[in-house]
Amino acid sequence: MIEKNNKRTDVNTIGEFGLINRITKNFALKQKTSILGVGDDAAVLDFADVKTVVSTDMLVEGIHFDLMYTPLKHLGYKAVVVNLSDIYAMNAIPSQITFSLAFSSKYSIEAIEELYEGVKLACDFYNVDLIGGDTTSSPKGMTISVTALGYTSEGLLTKRNGAKVGDIICVTGNLGASFLGLQILEREKQLFLNQPGIQPELGDAQYLIERHLKPEARKDAIEYFFKHKFTPTSMIDVSDGLASELFHICKSSGVGAFIEENKVPIHTDAQVMSLKFNTDPITCALNGGEDYELLFTVNEKDLEKVKYMPDIYIIGDIVDEKDGIKLHTSGGNIHDIKAQGWNHFDS
Amino acid sequence: MIEKNNKRTDVNTIGEFGLINRITKNFALKQKTSILGVGDDAAVLDFADVKTVVSTDMLVEGIHFDLMYTPLKHLGYKAVVVNLSDIYAMNAIPSQITFSLAFSSKYSIEAIEELYEGVKLACDFYNVDLIGGDTTSSPKGMTISVTALGYTSEGLLTKRNGAKVGDIICVTGNLGASFLGLQILEREKQLFLNQPGIQPELGDAQYLIERHLKPEARKDAIEYFFKHKFTPTSMIDVSDGLASELFHICKSSGVGAFIEENKVPIHTDAQVMSLKFNTDPITCALNGGEDYELLFTVNEKDLEKVKYMPDIYIIGDIVDEKDGIKLHTSGGNIHDIKAQGWNHFDS
């Protein structure tokens, strides 16, 4: 490898977000058509009357997925869904994807076709067109890169930076289940490696495992917003855990947040399993990640509309920036929420 | 790895195009906004008055690039350029890119910044905005995925399928130089590995090496078409060698081609070097690849306009499909042209 500059800072010292900041700060937007670039769930392009929304994600074997317990069909499905989730998080409708794949010769065509079966299932379910991609070999392992495009109108577009003091903080579905599903899969993998031939015990973990292997994007929430004619003031999808996403919204909007622990939705199976793993359920919700639920804020005037939304939970309020980002625990204490999230560069 | 289906066909048996056909044939376009999906240089989306053009490419270390002789800045530049080349090949103006990167912890931040310096140079030179991407770690090596977006109007859009019998076949610049540049770099790498410390002999190979490490996309050709108000009947960029691209145009358009060997532009340095490598220069042009020149066809009525285009070469004519794709050699013989192109799955 050729490295001109001899200075060497390890990536671990600044983390993924630090790195992204560092490498993107020199890119100014020049095109009249570029409305929003790096820094939100997706980029926004103004080609005419509608806004085109673009998002991209890369999944690497051994980092984002383990083929020992991930069926390829599920992997294909998930790779699409995690991108569509970013489009929905802009209050936009996904319409197209490109799907690129690098894989080593250890994979058969049938394996690759199984992967694409999952891609097709996701495209059909979410009514999205596959419009391009690249397929190439890799010396080792598998890498997937997906770019999703969607559209929305100027008035409906929902970024991270619109939360105002007094807004209500909401989240769809429930949090922490995917993280716990992953813990179970990792545990069973280790048991299997130590004692090949052993049958996995997944009895009461079906729901959690499915949340990890086959997540869904919250298309229904966006449809509800459109149908009931109200627009969140800010929105983000929960891919890195509630804490990290709250930080993104608060930082972008210049506000603080106050969250009630007992309002944060955690599935019964997740509560039971987190105790088996000796973890606090709220920790799984705050720092777990890969839930692909939507975290959003709404103006108080829309409270009535939000209340009747199915599968929605009001978890707190937007407060002044100086009041920080706090959790009011079930035990009555108030703690600072710290953003951990995933850091794929951690060793 | 989990493979549900036990049938195992090796990828080598059907090649990259066979695989792409196989995995994309089940994807029908559903969205009103999808005008053109998989099968051309880029996808075309109709969001309003302009057509949005989208293209994507993946570059894998050890397959598409070797960091032993590829400076990271050049790599970043090239990764962008090869995508823009696809946009230009639709007779469109590139306007945005997303850039995704997976890399192992052996790379320092400075190394990654050097890569992005190249990305920035390309964005500045081609007036394109970086609007998104993903940055993640990889257990080994580096993988780059770029998606480019651009725009054009319905009347200007140039696909592969519009070539008609009697059209003139043209190519920009010259062919084969990038392939020979790569051969030199590979030769010097082997010499260095056998005898570390040896200084590379690159004296008369500067031009060829630059064509390989820092290719340019033919923005100028598109600007000429727009300025002189004429539109090719078909167009493709030369990434896999002239032979392969001719086949794409002929197959899509349902026509044949007749090429004059002595009209195919080959740089003097490439001619000299190909003889040193005991290869026929025309073989390098036909099967070399990575030239990123434009191959296009024009109607006879536009002959005068093409003639005065700088750096353009008329290399043959479109003929009837039943007449095949032939080369009239300098020696006076007529040969079938066979499409080889790159096959990254070859071992």
pLDDT tens digits for B101-113?
Answer: 898 878 877 788 8
Distance from CA of B322 to the nearest CA of A (A): 31
Q: Give me A32's structure tokens.
A: 């009249």
Higher local confidence (pLDDT), B282 or A7: B282
Query: What value does the mean pLDDT take over residues A333-338?
Result: 92
Query: Which of 3.40.50.12280, 3.30.1330.10, 3.30.70.360, 3.40.50.300 would CATH assign to domain A31-152?
Result: 3.30.1330.10
Query: What value does the mean pLDDT take over residues B187-214?
Result: 84
Question: Looking at A72-86, B120-134, B290-304, which range is the least confident one?
Answer: B120-134
**Dihedral sign from CA coordinates of B288, B57, B134, A120:** negative
Predicted local confidence at residue A21, as pLDDT: 57
With an 8 Å Cβ cutoff, are B100 and A2 in contact? no
Q: Give me A158's structure tokens.
A: 């929902």
Predicted local confidence at residue B243, as pLDDT: 95
Which residues of chain A does B67 touch, with a Cβ-Cβ cutoff of 8 Å?
A: 1-2
Query: What value does the mean pLDDT take over residues A279-300?
Result: 94
pLDDT classification of A41: cutoffs 50, 70, 90: very low
With an 8 Å Cβ cutoff, are A68 and B20 in contact? no
Query: What value does the mean pLDDT take over residues B41-65?
Result: 74
Chain B residue closest to A65 (CA)?
A: B1
Mean confidence (pLDDT) of chain A:
84
With an 8 Å Cβ cutoff, are B56 and A98 in contact? yes
| DSSP characters over B181-237 | HHHHHHHHHHHHHHSTTPPP--GGGHHHHHHHHS----HHHHHHHHHTT---SEEEE
At the second CATH level, the architecture of B168-336 is Alpha-Beta Complex (3.90)
Question: Looking at A126-135, B85-94, B115-124, which range is the least confident one?
Answer: A126-135
pLDDT digits (tens, 9 = 90+) for A93-106: 888 888 888 988 78
Query: What value does the mean pLDDT take over residues A275-280?
Result: 92
- Highest mean predicted confidence (pLDDT) among B37-41, B87-91, B292-296: B292-296
Which residues of chain B does A23 touch, with a Cβ-Cβ cutoff of 8 Å?
A: 112-113, 116, 135
Which residues of chain B does A48 touch, with a Cβ-Cβ cutoff of 8 Å?
A: 47-50
A120 within 8 A of A175, measured Cβ to Cβ: no
Q: Burial letters for A86-98: b for 16+ Cβ neighbours within 10 Å, e otherwise?
A: bbbbbbbbbbbbb
Q: State the pTM of this model.
A: 0.85
Query: What value does the mean pLDDT take over residues A44-54?
Result: 66
**pLDDT for A109 beyond 60:** yes
B190 within 8 A of B221, measured Cβ to Cβ: no
Predicted local confidence at residue B9, as pLDDT: 58
Query: What's the CA gap between A159 and A310, in Å, rounded?
Result: 23
Residue whose structure tokens are 């080349």: B85
* CB nearest B60 (choices: A70, A73, A136): A136
pLDDT classification of B56: cutoffs 50, 70, 90: confident
Q: Tell me the CA distances in angstroms from B330 to A14, B262, B280, one per residue in order.
A: 60, 6, 12
With an 8 Å Cβ cutoff, are A11 and B107 in contact? yes
Distance from CA of B142 to the nearest CA of A (A): 10
Higher local confidence (pLDDT), A246 or A20: A246
pLDDT digits (tens, 9 = 90+) for B267-295: 999 999 999 999 999 999 999 999 999 99
Chain A residue closest to B8 (CA)?
A: A108
* CB nearest B132 (choices: A10, A55, A132): A55
**pLDDT for B30 beyond 50:** no
Residue whose structure tokens are 């804020």: A297
Q: Which fold has domain B11-152?
A: 60s Ribosomal Protein L30; Chain: A; (3.30.1330)
**pLDDT for B252 beyond 60:** yes
Dihedral of the CA atoms A36, A42, A47, A50 (nearest 10)?
-110
Beta bridge partners of B97: B130, B148
Q: Tell me the CA distances in angstroms from B193 to A187, B142, B184, one per residue in order.
A: 44, 22, 14
Q: What is the DSSP letter of A240?
A: S
Predicted local confidence at residue A6, as pLDDT: 53
With an 8 Å Cβ cutoff, are A95 and B31 in contact? yes
Query: What's the CA gap between B112 and A341, in Å, rounded?
Result: 22
List where CATH 3.30.1330.10 sits in chain B. Answer: 11-152
Distance from CA of A15 to the nearest CA of B (A): 10
Dihedral of the CA atoms B329, B335, B339, B345 (nearest 10)?
-100
A289 within 8 A of A184, measured Cβ to Cβ: no
**pLDDT for A295 beyond 50:** yes
List where CATH 3.90.650.10 sits in chain B. Answer: 168-336
Query: What's the CA gap between B247 and B226, in Å, rounded?
Result: 26
* CB nearest B110 (choices: A8, A73, A109): A8
Q: Give me A57's structure tokens.
A: 């994600």
